[in-house]
Structure 1
């Protein structure tokens, strides 16, 4: 079994601790990190722990048994638990965690990517929905500027198999995408982030009313809406090359087909097509696990767009399907990628003080509210993005996988 060298793991851990956390600034002495990972991610988990302690930080561990078909706490619950047990949420515990930490670092590592195979989508959705209050707690503290979070990937044989790669080739994508062969990957990330920020600032300077996304597999209109700004990774997710915003969901019209699979509730959903009218999904289909797609969309407000994103191929070194949203939503390749997320909007795309905005005001601005769902769906097909500016003129802002501004 391939395991990255100690040198690569140390660099990876330094990227996560000294760059990714604290929104691209790295942790400060005395900060507390909630470190989440499964047994299969142990080499990286320990490497990250070493860097947190070396930086003067503290750790609250959430180290879990591997989630597999034959040995899984979650599967045991789904197979034998009552509805009340599946929907159980220990509010005081999770509120205590959120209150106690400054940062959350989650290592994505699937020892068995099909751990929930054969289980009803409705039960899986119920279990996932039980975490909605936890996500709301996190969001509130994040809006106050007192919490940061980030994700990274530890490659497993199961994930490599799903992507059709050897484990070594799978890790090669991780190593290249995260700049782990650079002498100083932390500094490299800061440089790349600055380049992406330059594009983001140019987008913010454009008075965009709507976007028209055109291609063989897409004819979609996205209304940006007032009181919006564009965001880039800035440490949230490693790697992250995307530039995104949360549009006014009410102005989404047209259709889009996605050529990349997604994973929801432990199930692979492929061949997704969506049609929007007046901002709502009115038609949906998938060639694989369509029931899981429809189960997701059926949840309250999960039939509306919460995010629109573009990735420039000049920044991303990801060229292969990786069977995980973290990497697939940042794919470069020939044409970069477009993705939308159904469900919850990112309120930090609001340019003002989020804490002063009421729920009624969020709704009036067209920010979608769906704490239970935020699911990215990705296409790497070629497409052109045309901006309709508020003065009525049009401008091509993205073509052939590159921003044109």
Structure 2
């Protein structure tokens, strides 16, 4: 086994979820990630924890078969009972075919996500970690050889996360007490939002691994302006490009996409909260230096900002503000490397990708 796999497992267990004796651990993983699952079992045994492997939300062929043969769903009680009983949860992204579910009807996917919402809420209430195993299919999607993709993934994952936390805390100190944020990029992105009263979190490889961002939630009805997300995203096995959203009073009132606009429309109409922003994130990880069609990495890239339509994370919403709730949380990225700036309470804190504390 590549020693970097065991190092990856150690970061998950010791840094991300702090696995302890007696913990009932659920690992959600595709079979192609078996080596990482094996390494996690070794560490679980060493720490006296109790691992269980499922192939639920990260499944491919069987999930496609289920979704293509059913269009009405209910929350499965036996799965809900499992997540209620567990102490911690690890999700490992890895694919045999990244487009396996691309021919599932978007409306069916939306209905399924709504039914699974209670499971998601239960998982997020426990210590959890979402990470990536460098499978060949994901390397292919990134346009990289398997070996190069392995280097890319493990260089991003196996690092000094305490140093990352310290560096990113400078941006947290700017954003956390702020009232208003303005994002400008090129000629088609100029959007403002209030973040007053909402905490800013420092993502240094705990819940998302790799980490490398600071993020918060906009006040739901405060978003005004328009955004062109000039980086593509992969959603439900399909690529969506050049997403354009225009906001009034927090709601998306106009949208378009260069490719798969119908899928974007289905996302935005999933439920009432799906047409509002649930997250504003600022990428700060410059070790992630290329776009790979994997939002777990792409949203952390330095010189980027991402915004997510849909669910706001509970811990990013202040007690006096309302949490935007939705069955979806879909991140989209704006390139901030040129003709761009971030303004916080009227002062520029980043221009063309460079933060004020880096000058």
- Shared fold per TM-score greater than 0.5: yes
Q: Which residue of 1 aligns with 2:296?
A: 326
SS of residue in 2 equivalent to 1:29: coil
- In structure 1, the partner of 2:13 is 17
SS in 2 for 1:160: helix
Shift of residue 268, structure 1, vs aligned partner: 1.7
How many angstroms does 1:115 deviate by? 0.4
Instruction: Give the CA deviation at 1:380.
Output: 2.2
Give a deviation string over 1:354-379, Cα, whole Å, max 9, x none.
Answer: xxxxxxx6xxx243121x11111112
SS in 2 for 1:368: coil
RMSD between aligned residues:
2.0
User: Residue 329 of structure 1 contacts residue 337 of structure 1 at CA under 8 Å; is this kept in 2?
Assistant: yes
Distance 1:194 1:28, change over 3 A: farther
Q: Which residue of 1 aligns with 2:344?
A: 387
Q: CA offset at residue 215 of structure 1?
A: 1.9
Select which of 231, 234, 245 maps to 2:201. Answer: 231
Cα distance in structure 2, aligned partners of 1:281 and 1:351:
23
1:59 partner SS: strand
Q: Which runs of 5+ in 1 are unaligned?
A: 180-184, 353-360, 389-393
1:219 aligns with 2:186: no
**Structure 1 position 191 matched with structure 2 position 151:** no
Runs of 4+ in 1 over 3 A off after TM superposition: 63-68
Which segments of 5 or more consecutive residues in structure 2 lack a partner in the other structure?
A: none
Q: How far off its partner does 1:28 sit?
A: 2.0
Matches within 5 A, 1:139-288: 139=124, 142=125, 147-179=126-158, 185=159, 188-204=160-176, 206=177, 208-216=178-186, 217-225=188-196, 227-234=197-204, 235-288=206-259
Q: Distance in 1 between matches of 2:228 and 2:202?
A: 24
Q: Secondary structure at the match of 1:130?
A: helix
Cα deviations by residue, 1:66-86 (Å, 9 ceiling, x for unpaired): 855xxx1111112223x33xx
> Cα offset for 1:241?
0.7
Aligned residue number for residue 182 of structure 1: none
- Distance (whole Å) between structure 2 residues aligned to residue 80 and residue 322 of structure 1: 32
Distance change in 2, residues 1:134/1:331 (3 Å): same
Deviation at 1:136, TM superposition (A): 2.7
TM-score with structure 1 setting the length: 0.82
Q: Deviations over 1:125-169 (max 9, x none)?
A: 222222112123334xx2xxxx21111101222222222222222
